């Protein structure tokens, strides 16, 4: 999908989707996913396979034994989570390593996992939810790559993402939420995922959906996941406020959030 013309005029480069992820997207789009072909694709890229295996064996996923192959990872975690880890590694590889971006990638991994599992429990599009969580802050990486010194000072000066998008709009003519959504669209993610990325700052700050946001279910998961990560004591209140706006069952959302929150806590408590 081409980059929006108004963004192209700003001369901020949005990285192309790596070829391996293009091929993976095509395999995932098939009615009957060929697990052997997916595993072979990931294992065929040595650097990507190594990064995926390292992530799978991290404390975040809480597996009891050490996973030795991509196929074994699929058996333990399922195709969606392995594919999401692969996308996470491909996204990271599209940007130069930087200490300032490490917290961003760590949050992305946790947020994606939370949103994907919560989406699955609520019978929503779990792949769209997981990918939205992974890509939520990717616009920051785009701006950091574009102007590292300038953007580094913006990160230090902002107390919240609401402050940050104001500084970004003034300094660059575009904010990271808009750039992140453009990257989602360019890489072929679901429209609901792109919408969640585009509006997540306003939604999380206000607790209200912008009127123009018509695809709301994934955005609701974003707000709930943000509460899980940043203010766990507020999760119930956030669910009760956000879920009705997205036409989600409040009771099911509360139950799902508690289960997923407990899963993450248990996994991290067994960190190796």
pLDDT > 80? residue 25: yes
- pLDDT tens, 113-130? 999 999 999 999 999 999
| Mean pLDDT across 56-75 | 83
pLDDT at residue 5 in the model: 53
pLDDT > 50? residue 66: yes
Confidence of residue 269 (pLDDT cuts 50, 70, 90): confident
| Mean pLDDT across 130-145 | 96
pLDDT at residue 2 in the model: 47
pLDDT > 70? residue 4: no
pLDDT averaged over every residue in the chain: 90
Confidence of residue 103 (pLDDT cuts 50, 70, 90): very high
pLDDT > 50? residue 1: no
pLDDT at residue 272 in the model: 44
Confidence of residue 75 (pLDDT cuts 50, 70, 90): confident
- Percent of the chain with pLDDT strictly greater than 90: 62
pLDDT at residue 61 in the model: 82
- Token pair listed for 121: 């429990």
pLDDT at residue 264 in the model: 82
Q: Which domains does the chain carry?
A: 19-93 (no CATH), 100-272 (1.10.3210.10)
Give the burial string for 23-56 (b: 16+ CB within 10 Å, else e). bbeebbeeeeeeeeebbebbbebeebbebbbebb
pLDDT at residue 48 in the model: 83
Tally of CB atoms within 10 A around 172: 20
pLDDT > 80? residue 10: no
pLDDT at residue 34 in the model: 86
- pLDDT tens, 155-190? 999 999 999 999 999 999 999 999 999 999 999 999
* DSSP string covering 30-63: SSS--HHHHHHHHHTSHHHHHHHHHHHTSGGG--
Q: Is the pTM of this model over 0.75?
A: yes
Confidence of residue 195 (pLDDT cuts 50, 70, 90): very high
pLDDT > 80? residue 79: yes
């Amino acid at each position: 999908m081409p980059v929006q013309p108004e963004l192209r005029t700003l001369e901020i480069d949005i990285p192309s989707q790596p070829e391996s992820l293009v091929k993976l997207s095509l395999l995932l789009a098939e009615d009957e996913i060929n697990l052997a072909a997916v595993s072979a694709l990931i294992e065929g890229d040595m650097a990507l396979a190594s990064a995926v295996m390292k992530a799978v064996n991290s404390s975040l996923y809480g597996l009891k034994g050490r996973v030795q192959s991509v196929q074994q990872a699929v058996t333990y975690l399922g195709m969606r989570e392995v594919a999401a880890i692969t996308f996470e590694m491909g996204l990271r590889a599209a940007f130069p390593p930087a200490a300032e971006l490490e917290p961003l990638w760590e949050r992305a991994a946790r947020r994606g996992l939370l949103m994907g599992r919560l989406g699955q429990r609520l019978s929503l599009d779990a792949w769209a939810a997981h990918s939205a969580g992974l890509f939520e802050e990717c616009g920051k990486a785009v701006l950091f790559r574009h102007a590292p010194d300038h953007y580094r000072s913006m990160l230090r000066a902002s107390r919240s993402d609401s402050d940050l998008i104001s500084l970004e709009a003034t300094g660059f003519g575009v904010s990271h939420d808009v750039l992140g959504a453009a990257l989602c669209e360019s890489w072929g993610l679901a429209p609901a995922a792109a919408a969640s990325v585009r509006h997540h700052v306003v939604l999380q700050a206000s607790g209200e959906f912008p009127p123009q946001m018509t695809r709301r279910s994934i955005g609701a998961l974003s707000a709930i996941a943000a509460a899980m990560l940043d203010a766990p004591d507020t999760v119930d209140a956030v669910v009760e406020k956000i879920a009705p706006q997205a036409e989600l069952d409040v009771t099911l959302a509360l139950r799902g959030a508690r289960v997923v929150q407990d899963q993450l806590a248990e996994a991290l408590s067994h960190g190796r």
